[in-house]
């Protein structure tokens, strides 16, 4: 806010900002018009009028007023931020990012602008820029766990796994554990294990998950992650037991079924969704009794019947797809 506004107009300007935040656009326009009657060259008020007009679907007028504000004061961080908000609303993320950077030239520690910038950078897949922005946010507001995690996530996405782990270590060592919510402790443990897994440190990831079995609240996700890691470390016997526990809770989950297939030593790729999963004749013979047992154990599970069809071929496929399809067709089930 410019300091050249009289006290009464400064109070009105605060009301204008609040009206925008609460979406009381018409009330805000009345207040900003009162400011402009006395101070017609106040750049921030012109910009805010443009922002309020955008909320009333007057797009052309909104840009006109924001540009007028910038013409009055090119060094106003608020005018640049408002211009960026309008551009973001119109899906022009690239230009909006430029406006946010201009705003930060004159208000480098503004948390609202930094957060808005980081969101757009992630949408535009500017991961390097996102990571740097989250670093600044973390340094300015280090007491918020999500700021540390966001910076660690950025480093993970650009492949800086050691930095991500170092950030998590620094946070855990510098914050009183009693001040961290149980859900935050849980998510941090899971995320640490994920970073270690992506960095091919499978044994360390297993150790983290086993050590924090009481901390992690999502037991299903912990078991699924452990099972996947056991397969990667040639401990498939442990993975089998975990997948069987998971299927007992949710026999419709394709990921659990696929994990069980891989844990049984059947040569299938690690990515079920993007591969041709047809198996060799030997593996097809091995997979049939596994799913026969599953179908007997979970007779109402459609996934146990449907999933098998992706792995087999020939006469066995014809027989099983016939039994699967006819029952559903008779019931008139949608495709």
Residue 275 near residue 269, CB atoms below 8 Å: yes
Task: Note the pLDDT of residue 178.
Answer: 67
Give me the half-sphere count of Cα atoms (radius 13 Å) on the Cβ side of residue 328.
Answer: 14
pLDDT classification of 261: cutoffs 50, 70, 90: very high
pLDDT classification of 278: cutoffs 50, 70, 90: low
Task: Note the pLDDT of residue 266.
Answer: 83
* Mean per-residue pLDDT, 209-233: 95
Around Cβ 30, how many Cβ atoms within 10 Å? 15
pLDDT classification of 1: cutoffs 50, 70, 90: very low
For the record, the structure tokens of 273 come out as 């969704």
List helix spans (H) across the chain.
7-21, 25-38, 43-55, 59-72, 77-89, 93-106, 111-123, 127-140, 145-157, 161-174, 182-198, 202-211, 219-232, 236-249, 254-263, 281-297, 302-306, 314-331
Q: What does pLDDT average to over the chain?
A: 90
Around Cβ 332, how many Cβ atoms within 10 Å? 6
* Mean per-residue pLDDT, 233-254: 95
pLDDT above 80 for 279: no
* Mean per-residue pLDDT, 167-188: 83
Of 105 and 56, the structure prediction assigns the larger pLDDT to 105
Around Cβ 108, how many Cβ atoms within 10 Å? 12
pLDDT above 90 for 329: no
Give me the half-sphere count of Cα atoms (radius 13 Å) on the Cβ side of residue 284.
Answer: 14
């Amino acid at each position: 806010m410019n300091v050249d506004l009289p006290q009464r107009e400064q109070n009105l300007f605060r009301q204008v900002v609040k009206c925008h935040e609460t979406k009381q656009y018409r009330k805000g326009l009345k207040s900003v018009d009162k400011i402009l009657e006395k101070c017609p060259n106040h750049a921030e008020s012109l910009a805010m009028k443009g922002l309020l007009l955008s909320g009333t679907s007057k797009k052309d007028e909104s840009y006109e007023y924001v540009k007028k504000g910038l013409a009055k004061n090119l060094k106003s961080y608020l005018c640049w931020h408002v211009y960026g908000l309008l551009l973001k609303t119109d899906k022009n993320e690239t230009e909006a990012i430029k406006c946010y950077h201009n705003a930060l030239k004159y208000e480098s520690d503004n948390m609202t602008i930094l957060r808005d910038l980081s969101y757009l950078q992630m949408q535009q897949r500017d991961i390097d820029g996102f990571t740097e922005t989250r670093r600044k946010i973390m340094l300015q507001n280090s007491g918020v766990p999500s700021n540390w995690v966001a910076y660690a996530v950025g480093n993970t996405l650009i492949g800086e796994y050691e930095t991500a782990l170092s950030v998590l270590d620094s946070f855990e060592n510098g914050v009183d554990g009693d001040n961290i919510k149980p859900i935050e402790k849980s998510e941090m443990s899971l995320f640490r294990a994920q970073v270690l897994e992506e960095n091919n440190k499978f044994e360390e990831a297993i150790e983290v998950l086993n050590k924090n079995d009481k901390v992690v609240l999502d037991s299903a996700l912990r078991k699924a992650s452990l099972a996947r890691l056991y397969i990667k470390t040639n401990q498939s016997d442990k993975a089998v037991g975990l997948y069987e526990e998971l299927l007992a809770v949710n026999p419709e989950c394709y990921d659990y079924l696929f994990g069980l297939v891989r844990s049984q030593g059947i040569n299938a790729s690690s990515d079920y969704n993007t591969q041709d999963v047809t198996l060799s004749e030997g593996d097809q013979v091995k997979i049939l009794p596994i799913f026969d047992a599953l179908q007997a154990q979970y007779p109402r599970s459609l996934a146990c019947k449907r999933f098998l069809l992706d792995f087999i071929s020939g006469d066995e496929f014809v027989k099983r797809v016939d039994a699967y399809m006819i029952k559903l067709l008779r019931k008139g089930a949608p495709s």
